[in-house]
Amino acid sequence: MERLTFPFLFLVLSILSPSDGGSIGVNYGRIANNLPSAVKVVQLLKSQNINRVKLYDSDPAVLKSLAGSGIRVTVDLPNQLLPSAAKTPSFALQWVRQNVAAYHPSTQIESIAVGNEVFVDPSNTTRFLVPAMKNIHQALVKFHLHSTIKVSSPIALSALQSSYPSSAGSFRPELIEPVFKPMLDFLRQTGSYLMVNAYPFFAYESNANDIPLDYALFRENPGVVDAGNGLRYFNLFDAQIDAVFAAMSALKYDDLEMVVTETGWPSKGDENEVGASLDNAAAYNGNLVRRILTGGGTPLRPKADLTVYLFALFNENKKNGPTSERNYGLFYPSEEKVYDVPFTVEELKGYRDKRKSSSSPVAGGGRLSTPVSGNVSPSVAGQTWCVASGEAGKAKLQPALDFACGEGGADCHPIQPGSTCYDPNTLEAHASYAFNSYYQKKGRAIGTCYFGGTAYVVSQPPKYGTCDFPTGY
């Protein structure tokens, strides 16, 4: 995990599309002296219906405990072993024999992370990365495991030269020829994917005056249009991920997939660690799980359902650095939850983001504007409305309007010819009324003001002509 500052300025927040989604896993770090046994940890994972876990080593006790559990496992070849794995194929073969082949398939190892954030490793192991990956893969071939176990390496977002706006995403020039092109070629040839560690918390912490907290926590807001590609972003996570996709696309690797191997938010921090709190951690991880499990991809890759690993399973009391480093856990070492977070679609049905009440839709950090077309009435505390984005264009707005008035069940009678809200007779005005009807009927739940990215939530009642927008049914 690497701290990184991003110049995401004046950005604003996320709404979800209800559809089939991705997958949630968890990172099982063990830099602590008070954690439960591996056997108990596996029981905990199963009790929480967590079916993917990523390790930072290949500890025999952990791998044995995971045998027969049905939990998919990612093991790690530590950075310090990269030189040996790169220089000596026999070392890579022996490592795979002892740490992978000896346990698979009883322990469902699905991938090997070769190193972790190698580009920021103070031991300067970057030049060994791709050769090590290739030797590990060749070892898998010899054990006939290469078709079921993928090889990749998690990168930190500091591997990007540019990340804002997302459309300008690009890799650091000095890494492109010696590392990224051969690594991405390898991933393509072996049917693997790029592993990425992404932490919106670091960007928010460093730019809290410019980034609204709600944008970082997947809460509702108007969003912001990327001037480079015309796409509207509703959360910082999507913006970071699409910056990496854009960097891959710039090198002509649009066909490669991505797995987010780390993301999380600390429940406690030092006084200068802005945003580190239990409430914010609960909101980030809970809303992230909903975002991933309900699917929809990112604005740049709308069909790319993601596998995301939350960081981390436990608070780890022996980690160095600021207080936050020891407080990313979803669970205390006692196995008690630090806060409530859903892990399955079923649990999402009863999940609510328990945000603290505020007279403003943005609780902390950056200002949130309400760019509503037409006249705007005085703010009504505690109420929100859903309106169409005039920038979405007819090609996107018309199908969304048709859905709202048809399958969506919105009350569209007032926008029929001769009715009270027919005027002004514009697509934006009619779509806004229909979207808001749907949104209000659904109880203003997160995810019900999306419509393919053509709608957003406002905190002031919109007025188109003399039409009043309802606030409930």
Active-site residue list: 117, 262
- What SS3 class is residue 261? strand
- What SS3 class is residue 226? coil
Residue 351, burial from CB neighbour count under 10 angstroms (0-12, 13-18, 19+): middle
Please name the residues in contact with 362: beta carbons below 8 A apart, sequence gap of 6 or more. Answer: 212, 213, 214, 221, 368
Whole-angstrom Cα distance, residue 158 to residue 120?
Answer: 8
Whole-angstrom Cα distance, residue 458 to residue 358?
Answer: 15
Report angle CA 239, 242, 245 to the nearest 5 degrees.
160
Residue 98 DSSP code:
I
Whole-angstrom Cα distance, residue 26 to residue 3?
Answer: 20
Whole-angstrom Cα distance, residue 355 to residue 279?
Answer: 7
Q: Quote the tokens at residue 431.
A: 């779509």
Residue 67, burial from CB neighbour count under 10 angstroms (0-12, 13-18, 19+): middle
Whole-angstrom Cα distance, residue 211 to residue 365?
Answer: 6
